[in-house]
Structure formats: C-alpha cells, structure tokens
Amino acid sequence: MYVAVKGGEAAIANAHRLLAKDRRGDPAVPELTAVQIAEQLTLAVDRVMAEGSLYDPELAAIAIRQARGDMIEAIFLVRAFRTTLPRFGTSRPVDTGSMALARRISATFKDLPGGQVLGPTFDYTHRLIEEDLSAEPPATADPLGPAPRVTDVLGGEGLVEPDGQHGTAGGGGEEEPGDLTREATVPPLSRAVRLQALARGDEGWLLGLAYSTQRGYGRNHPFVGEIRTGVVELELDIPELGFAVTLGAMTLTECQMVNQFHGSATEPAQFTRGYGLVFGRVERKAMSMALVDRALRADEFGEDRVAPAQDEEFVIAHSDNVQATGFVEHLKLPHYVDFQAELELVRKLRAAAERDAARRGDADRDRQEAAE
C-alpha cells in the first residue's frame, strides 16, 4: 500500500529546473527542433508512435525531445496526451494490400508477383560506424506494379490457413472487435484484442518472447512469409456527408509469419500464420508481434501450452511498458510508513527468535545439569 507523504515542493520545483537545464545541454550548441527529430530520427519517432499507440510523428518527436531521448518516458508522454482527446470515430480497416511500398521482402517465396524490394534497410550493411554520413542521391528505376499480399496469392492448395476470422474458421464476420482502451482486458481475450495489445506492446519484451520461441520455448518453426512497409490512406465515414473521407496517409509495417502445423484430428497438416501490424517502420517489432501472436494461438491448434510466450495472461499483462514502468518506478516514491511497519515486524520476529533461543539454551542447560 502506498501512504501519501507531503512536502518537498521547493526541492521538486528545483529538480524540474535542473532537469530543464540538463535537457537543454550546452546553450552554445543549437537546440534540437522537433522537426529535425521527426525528419532524422525517424525510427525513434516510429517506435514512440507504435508503443504510444498514437500516430502523430510531430507529437512523438516533441515527446522524444522532452524526454531527453528516453523512449519509455516519451511513450508515457504520448499515452498521457491521448487521454486528453475525445474520440471522433473509428477508421475503415486499412488496406495493407494496396500499400504504396517502401519495402517488401519474402523469405519463403522467391518470385513474388510484384517483386521484392529491399527499400531503406539496415540489412546487408556492414554495421561500421561512419562519422560522416553524407548521402548520395539514390538510384532510380521504373516503378513496380501492384503487389498483393503474399498470403492473398497463396492458398491455392489450402496449404496455408486463410486470414484470421472471428470465431471459427470461415466465420468472416465484421463484428466489433474489442477495444482494450475502453474495456478491461479479462482473459481469455479474443485474437483481435490480443493483436491490439501486441501492437502497442514493448518492443524489447516482445522481441525477448519471440526469441524464446525460436530457442525452443514453444515449438513452431517460423518463416517470414512477407514483410512490407509502406503508406496507406486512412478513411473515416462521415455521417453528415454520407461517404468516407480520406484523413491522410500513414506508414505501417506488416509481417506475415508462416509456421509449421502438423495437423490434428480435425485439421489437416498445413502452414499456419502469425500476424504483425505496427505503426511506422518498426520491422523488428512487427516480426516479434507475429511470432508471439502465433505462439498465443496454441489452444486453437491443440498445442501444449508449456512456454512463457504461449501464456496469454503472462504475455499480455506484462507487455505494456507504460504500466510496467509505473509499477516498477513507483518504488522510488517514499514508502516510509510501509517500511516502518515491516521494520517493526522484522524486529518483533528477531526478538521472538532471541527469546526462543534463550529458552532453548536454558532447557539445554537444565538437561545437561540433570544428566550430570
């Protein structure tokens, strides 16, 4: 239990002033602008948007600057900001199949309709520090044709499961998915709510869990069916107008992970899928999300739930880094009354133990004397 304390106003105000001074750094160095961060630290911005669960690059950049580059603090700022806004509505489902692609690769199918493009990736770089990052103008080539999702071109032989539907396979309804920002998450969760939680979940947490599935904690040999990053348009139905208006465009990363499934009494052997969809260019997160999504579907496929990544309560309840940091970091706040109570208890226990020891000592002496 946390018991409130009072006081320290002057110290707190001074700490804030010192924080502001340290955040700014040497005044002789020009101050970073949010636009510079939004333009040049794009992957940091994307991570804050993804885990802040709010698409707004400019706002994420402002948060990163204010947080001195502490990503979880920046995510916290974004989450706090979103609670101040009303919700206007819910977009039409984005069509990732019609993405204007910045990157699209598959590790399972060499010759994809629409081709594979590496885009601006760190893959295949030598990971050598370069002190001078002067950019050459990029090469150009004739634009590619449309690139349907790999999973939409597959499935001819039914070797890969179809896209996830509500309830049983083939249900395919358009029912309202749950929304964890509006309702408490009580297990068992629907796959839709799990995906919402994973999409905003901590990248490091999901990466660790995804890695654990590859190291053998929960079987499922994964393949990257497809990773794509690109721009989609966001549309909202406006009742007054009677049609959907385009609100703007956003960058998303999608990952289709393909996993082995040996079949069951009712299902033939086929490949199953894990799905990842994240705001911005957050490929490691999208891959981790897809691996964890698949691991959490253990029950659907009658797989033994033996590993942490397959445990829905464990994975989802600990995936939110804002909640996690709040609970861990509150330990820094004064706990003097709690601790006093525990201290009293420890003293009582020790006193009792000493009394017992003394009594045992007397009894031993008595026995010894009697024996002599």
Site for another protein in 147-176 (CB under 8 A): 149, 151-152, 162-166, 171-175
Q: Interface with another protein includes 48 (CB under 8 A)? A: no
| Cα of 254 vs its chain's centroid, Å | 14
Residue with smaller CB distance to another protein, 25 or 187: 187
Contact 287, 305 (CB under 8 A): no
- What six digits make up the tokens of 12? 């707190």
CB of 114 to another protein, least distance (A): 10
Site for another protein in 111-150 (CB under 8 A): 115-120, 138-144, 149
CA distances from 74 to 39, 44, 70, 244, 276 (A): 17, 10, 6, 33, 23
| Phi, psi torsion values for 227, nearest 5 degrees | -125, 130
- What does the alpha-carbon distance between residue 23 and residue 34 come to, in Å, rounded to a whole number? 14
**85 near another protein, judged by CB under 8 A:** yes
Residue from 66, 72, 97, 267 in contact with another protein (CB under 8 A): 97
Examine residue 73 and tell whether it contacts another protein (CB under 8 A): no
Q: In what side-by-side order are the strands of the sheet with 100-105?
A: 100-105, 222-238, 243-261, 270-279
Told to check if 209 binds another protein by CB under 8 A, we report no
Q: Which CB sits closer to another protein, 149 or 284? A: 149
Q: 105 pairs with which residues across the strands?
A: 227
The residue type at 94 = V
For 36, list phi and psi in degrees, rounded to 5: -60, -45
Among 275, 287, 294, 321, binds another protein (CB under 8 A): 275
The residue from 179, 313, 344, 366 that contacts another protein (CB under 8 A) is 179
Question: By CB under 8 A, what part of segment 324-343 binds another protein?
Answer: none
Cβ 256 to another protein, closest distance in Å?
7
Select from 3, 13, 20, 244 the one that contacts another protein (CB under 8 A): 244
Q: Is 273 a binder of another protein (CB under 8 A)?
A: yes
Cβ-based neighbour number of residue 371 at 10 Å: 6
Least separation, in Å, of the C-beta of 317 and another protein? 18
In the complex, minimum distance from the CB of residue 346 to another protein, in angstroms, rounded to a whole number:
46
Dihedrals φ, ψ of 348, to 5°? Answer: -60, -45
